[in-house]
Structure 1
Amino acid sequence: MGKKAKVYLGRSVRAKARKKQARVATGRLSKKEICDPALKQLWVPKQRAAAQLERLGLAYDANKCLSRDTPNNTESQLIQYYEQQVSNLQQVPRQPKHLSQSEKLYMSNIVKKYGTDFQRAFRDRKLNYLQWTETQLAKKYAKWLQENNAAEEIEK
């Protein structure tokens, strides 16, 4: 068997492929779906992405945005909409973190052997296989005590 011959595509096919890639690289986002409702309402599909974002007051190219000679355009409909959304949000209280079952067992084993001597517990490589530091051990111990006391109060 001989060598396989290369298929000659011709100049026209290559030129068409280059043109197609150039069109994709210009940044037209007409075929992509925009999920954000505020942005979707203000978006004009036939306009280039860079022009769209500039009109909306957003940065398409961060280097151009940070240069000194361009004015800082902070007042746009989109930015006002998002500032309003942020002001409407209420702070949701965070749930306190709790120890998992494996962490409770881990702490109980450490407390049985060392009590509150976290410096010695820190150096025990077999028992402290998670390699918690002395500070981490102290914090986990405080949480472990708090959860154990809460569990004992519920049982009574």
Structure 2
Amino acid sequence: MVKHGRNKKRRAGRIGRTKLKNKHSFRRWDPKPQIADAVVRQHWDPSKSPSVNLANLGLVARPNDDAKNIAPSQRIQPATNVNVVELFDIPDSDELREQKRQRRCPLKEEDQKYIVKCLAKYGDDYGKAFRDTKINYMQHTENQLRKMGARFLLLNKEQRVVDVPEKVKALVKTVEQ
């Protein structure tokens, strides 16, 4: 049977158009901003541009713009009657919670075991370790192995989980000194 140019029509977009199935959940963009903070809502004027509104709040719309290139007539003077404490809820007390900082190890335990096998067999010759698919089963590139090896050699005794191979112990001693 003849298709009467069906492929042309399909490529042109006349056939197979998709329509919105659920019209109730589709919302158009509302140009009026929905502001949750009462103080900001009070000072915000939707008829003015966002940069003017931010200037009225005492903020700068584009802080990285070079102020020298802006003409003096176009410069927006920040409002002086707005109190910053009104804009943001600042807690009464100055007590800050101490966050527990975990020691971040630059090399995971699995990666340490992986690079130790490479270093034990080939030392610091990462080209040979790269070509050995039995040791380098993750198929890291030569540069990736070099970075992992350098990170392993720079680890402290507390951070190191695996013993240093004999072939690279001299490198670890020179790094520690």
TM-score interval, normalised by the smaller of the two chains: 0.3 to 0.5
**TM-score, normalising length from structure 1?**
0.46
For CA contacts below 8 A with separation 6 or more, give which structure has more relative contact order. 2
